[in-house]
Structure 1
Amino acid sequence: MRKSELNKIVLKAEEMCSHSGGRLTEKRKRILELLILSEVPLSAYEVADAYNKQAEKSMPAMSVYRMLDFLVAEQLAHKLASENKYVACSHIVCSHEHQVAQFLICRACHRVKEIAIQRNIVEALKSHVVAAGYQLMTSQLELDCVCENCLTTAA
């Protein structure tokens, strides 16, 4: 990713935080940049390790967890429950209203692709869940897949 693209995403993230009353501090910004630049989801400890390799003063994992929680709350990052790892939102610079996030997770290379699904599909799933006597706790979907690159490599 070019530096100009990264800067554009970070500037938009700062605007989003400012608009919601939050603040994208330098440390939070650096954590977001690490997520943006990573090709695979990162655990809080992996984020802490990557941050501490580049920082003058190390940051404890507990602080990283708080910063990741902030980024998730501001819709700048997503937590993948199935992997207990984090990815940057791929729609930070979009100007449209975001649909429901769905994550395609490659079981071979661990790359993640965020795609949107229409709300009516989620509502249909939700009605089936309720009809079965359950309550949907999150509409985020995480699908175990194999990406096209890994499929062609394996062939």
Structure 2
Amino acid sequence: MEATISKTIEKAHDICQQQGARLTEKRKRVLSVVLTAPGPLSAYEVADLYRERFDQSLSVMSVYRMLNFLKDNELVHRLETTNQYLPCSHISCRHPHEIPQFLICDKCRNVSEIGIRREVLQELSANIEGSGFKLAEQQLEFHGLCEQCQSS
């Protein structure tokens, strides 16, 4: 697993370089915390795990700034409804992806990232904007029960 994390962080470094951004050591460490978590994390949880893993404290404000950097460079996603962060499941891919959407289980808190075709989202956006409403984000989050929780 450690080798997979290292390769993912190397790919993240390359992505940042291509975009003219700098993936500093602390940002890499924050990304590794998010990558190794079993589920989405709040900034406070990231700060706690960072301190445990690296024996070094980071203020929550610093963690938020780093998470926003990672989000802006499409390395992590922020779940708006829960204010938590999770890694993009496509960091290591080399092909274009659909717009990510999230299925959030309200029982076990598991989150799945799925893609939605751009055409579908464009049509939805056009319908929304036709009503006079201006969208700030196109991310959709669906809450419900995952397959495992439905059967238990």
Same fold (TM over 0.5): yes
Q: State the match for 1:31 in structure 2.
A: 30
Whole-angstrom distance in 2 between the partners of 1:15 and 1:106: 33
Aligned length: 152
Q: Please list, as runs of the form range in 1=range in 2, the aligned pairs for 1:50-61 lying within 5 A after superposition.
A: 50-61=49-60
Q: What TM-score comes out, normalization by structure 1 length? A: 0.93
Q: What is the root-mean-square deviation of aligned Cα atoms in Å?
A: 1.1
Q: Please list, as runs of the form range in 1=range in 2, the aligned pairs for 1:62-73 lying within 5 A after superposition.
A: 62-73=61-72
Q: State the match for 2:127 in structure 1.
A: 128
Stretches of structure 2 that go unaligned for 5 or more consecutive residues are none
Do 2:41 and 2:84's aligned partners in 1 also have CA atoms closer than 8 Å? yes
Whole-angstrom distance in 1 between the partners of 2:143 and 2:91: 24
> How far 1:55 moved relative to its partner?
2.1
Q: State the match for 1:44 in structure 2.
A: 43
Q: Tell me if 1:117 matches 2:124.
A: no
Q: What TM-score comes out, normalization by structure 2 length? A: 0.95
Provide runs of 4+ in structure 1 moved above 3 Å.
Answer: none
> How far 1:98 moved relative to its partner?
2.2
Whole-angstrom distance in 2 between the partners of 1:4 and 1:132: 50
> How far 1:80 moved relative to its partner?
0.7
CA offsets, 1:63-122, max 9 Å, x none?
A: 101100110011000111110111110000111112211011111111111111100000
Whole-angstrom distance in 2 between the partners of 1:85 and 1:151: 24
Q: Tell me if 1:98 matches 2:97.
A: yes
